[in-house]
Amino acid sequence: MIRFDSDYIEGAHPSILDALVRTNFDQTAGYGEDPYCSQARETIRKHCLDETLGVQFLVGGTQTNVTVIDALLRSYQGVISADSGHINVHETGAPEATGHKVLAIPTNDGRLSLTQIKECFENHWNDHAHEHTVQPGMVYLSFPAENGLIYSKAELTEISEFCHKNGLYLFVDGARMGYGLQAEGCDVTLSDLARLCDAFYIGGTKVGALFGEAVVFSDKEMQRSFRYAIKQHGGMLAKGRLLGIQFQELMQGGDNCLYFTLAKHADTQAMRIRRAFEAKGIELWNNSVTNMQFPLLTKAQQEALGKEFIFEYWGKHDDERDIVRFCTSWATRTESVDALCSAIEKL
């Protein structure tokens, strides 16, 4: 069986393992205060074209989301999110466990629009009884969204402007950041994100690392205190250098860095899958240009493909068809996609 059910089914890119082996017996201080982390921070700041940014490393996505949310928000504030946002549906209430309600907004396409954010914000403050409801303190977006769609630079810019004019933090979940940045038609860069957001992260776990998320932030209070928040939320890795080593390996080399190369590969393979379905006349649920593709398949089609491939049931679409997800990754072999495409052709 060949797995296309997620983008974290293998280990790490071999050059990352090599780096870990190579540095294994170096002796360093713990908790991310080692030379490898310093170097990786520098490398990331260069991508962002801003030497003043804070950069810290955490192990996983949920941990990163709640640490950022809890570090930035006041106790009586909540976070505006698409109702399909990861923090709202797949984190076992982790934000709420830190005291912050997710202000979940239904969306048309899994992405928050300026109009929706504005409406949520204005409804709150126009309500005479606003203090009986949670004060919006932050906008949370995923780039790309849970359904693979991305935001344009223009969209992010107008959301950022609205947020900053109105005292809202803008936080971008980048668990699949690479796959978004390298997608066809994407006009957003790391330096755009660094400029437009108060905090965002570069997801390593799903893009070539064993694990690890690099949080980038400009917020002053986070610059002073984010490491407290990491420790308090159990996210401070004793051998922090493991994160620095991995991110240095991924991000060094500017626009040709491994992170971008791996992500590009996954996007390319995903678009091959997309086109195979399209060629077969099988409709896709949305216009994802990233590493997740969502064909609408009948039970018979699912059964046929299910003989060789593992993919994920995403939901019922209509009486005939379900939405299913095919995921590529940095580790997806071209031959696996060849096999899938030819199986699609034979449906």
Among positions 201-240, residues that touch a second copy (CB under 8 A) are: 205-206, 210-211, 221, 225, 227-239
125 binds a second copy (CB under 8 A): no
Q: Which of 41, 45, 47, 100 binds a second copy (CB under 8 A)?
A: 100
Cα separation values, 187 from 151, 154, 193, Å = 9, 9, 11
Residues between 130 and 149 that touch a second copy (CB under 8 A): 131-135
123 binds a second copy (CB under 8 A): no
Residues between 5 and 64 that touch a second copy (CB under 8 A): 6, 8-12, 14, 17, 20-21, 23-31, 59-64
Contact partners, residue 246, CB within 8 Å, separation at least 6:
12, 16, 19, 20, 40, 204, 209, 210, 211, 212
Residues between 62 and 81 that touch a second copy (CB under 8 A): 62-67, 70-71, 73-76, 78
Q: Which of 211, 207, 237, 213 is nearest to 68 (CA)?
A: 213
- Give the position of tokens 């009986």: 132
**234: number of Cβ within 10 Å:** 9
261 binds a second copy (CB under 8 A): no
Least separation in angstroms between residue 220's CB and a second copy is 12
DSSP structural state of residue 39: H
**317: number of Cβ within 10 Å:** 16
Residues between 265 and 324 that touch a second copy (CB under 8 A): none
Nearer of residues 98 and 189 to a second copy, judged by Cβ: 98
- Tell me how far apart the alpha carbons of residues 167 and 138 are, in angstroms, rounded to a whole number: 8
Instruction: Pick the stretch among 112-120, 127-135, 138-146, 254-262 that binds a second copy (CB under 8 A).
Output: 127-135
Nearer of residues 93 and 254 to a second copy, judged by Cβ: 93
- Tell me how far apart the alpha carbons of residues 259 and 213 are, in angstroms, rounded to a whole number: 12
